[in-house]
Every structure is written in structure tokens, then in C-alpha cells.
A = this chain, B = another copy of it.
Amino acid sequence: MARALLAGAIAATEAVALEFQLRMMKIRAATETDHDAVWNIFHETIAPGDTYALDPKMSREEALAYWFRADTHTYVAEKEGRVVGTYILKSNQLGPGSHVANAAFMVRSDAQGSGVGGRMAEHCLDEARRMGFRAMQFNFVVSTNVPAIHLWEQLGFKIAGTLPAAFHHPQKGYVDVYVMYRSLLT
């Protein structure tokens, strides 16, 4: 009993610590001074080739051109003055499809599992609503990326479709991809 109480107390302390850490996190628009930090996160995210449909050998120049495109809003998450994550938000389509947002998220490997992704995603949903988007769509969620799928489901996204064998995973071969979608009106 004492043991269980102690375990509870420790869990509560950890939750408070995580809460505190997240509160200490600042999410802001990225600037040119963030290019080095963003490129480091981008590179370590795409190099294994297991989550993004991007060339794992993409150069720094190509990566920054993609992540900081003129039609794209780019953000960074900062903790204790250090960039621990980055995300982009843009229209998924043009013209009569431009009311649906699209976003992509990357978290520094040594900050994963600490709530950075979830916090950025909530910030992103708020930003998208503020900009007047009516829905958000992820076009390409690799089915083996279980933590991401769980996070999106927690945040109200549903699997709108399955693309059979649409991703070539370096270890698992051809695997399915999900299109995920949620309304921003509710």
C-alpha cells in the first residue's frame, strides 16, 4: 500500500515536472537564425528514411527551401533557448481546396517522448483555426509510425483513407500509408 502510494507520488511528481517543462517551452515563428537548428532536426529526421516521403539524402539547401517556402508558415519549439522541434503549416491545396490545412512536424531525437510533438500539434491546430482553415489533413502518415498515429488520433484526427504499399520502408519493405483528417469547426 505504502509502495503503491509512493509509486503514485512519483508518477504525480513526474507529471508535474513534464507539465513544468512544457510550460517552459516556447513556440514561435522561425527565422533565418534558426536555419542551423532546423536543418539539424530535419536531417536527423529524414536520414533514416522511415517516416517521411522525402529523399533521405536531401541537401541542406533543398531542405531549407522546402521547409521555409513562401507559402508555408514555419515554427520552432524552444526550450531553455534551444530549438527542440519545428513544424510547418500551409494550405494543402489551392483555390477551392485551400480551406484545408496541411502540417508536418519534426522533433529533435533527444527531445522525443517529452511532449514536444503534442504541444506543437496543439499550437498548430490553434494557428490553423486562427488563420481560418476549416480542416486539417495529413497526406502521408506511414502506418509503421505508431507514435505519430496515436498522437493524431488523440488530437481528433481520423484515418480517412489507406494507401496500400505506398511507402518503401528501409527495414519493413512496402507498407501502407494513412491519410488522416479532422475538421477544425468542432
Residues of A within 8 A of B (CB): 46, 49-50, 52-56, 58, 93-100, 134-135, 137, 139-140, 159-170, 174, 177, 179, 181, 183
Contact = CB atoms under 8 A, between A and B. Distances in A.
Given A164-B181, A179-B161, A179-B163, A94 B53 contact: yes
29 contacts: A50-B96, A52-B95, A52-B96, A53-B94, A53-B96, A53-B97, A53-B98, A54-B94, A55-B94, A55-B95, A96-B169, A96-B170, A97-B166, A99-B168, A134-B165, A135-B166, A137-B163, A159-B161, A160-B161, A160-B162, A160-B179, A161-B161, A161-B162, A161-B179, A163-B179, A164-B181, A164-B183, A165-B183, A179-B179
| Tally of this chain's copies | 2
A168 B96 contact: yes
A138 to B, nearest CB: 11
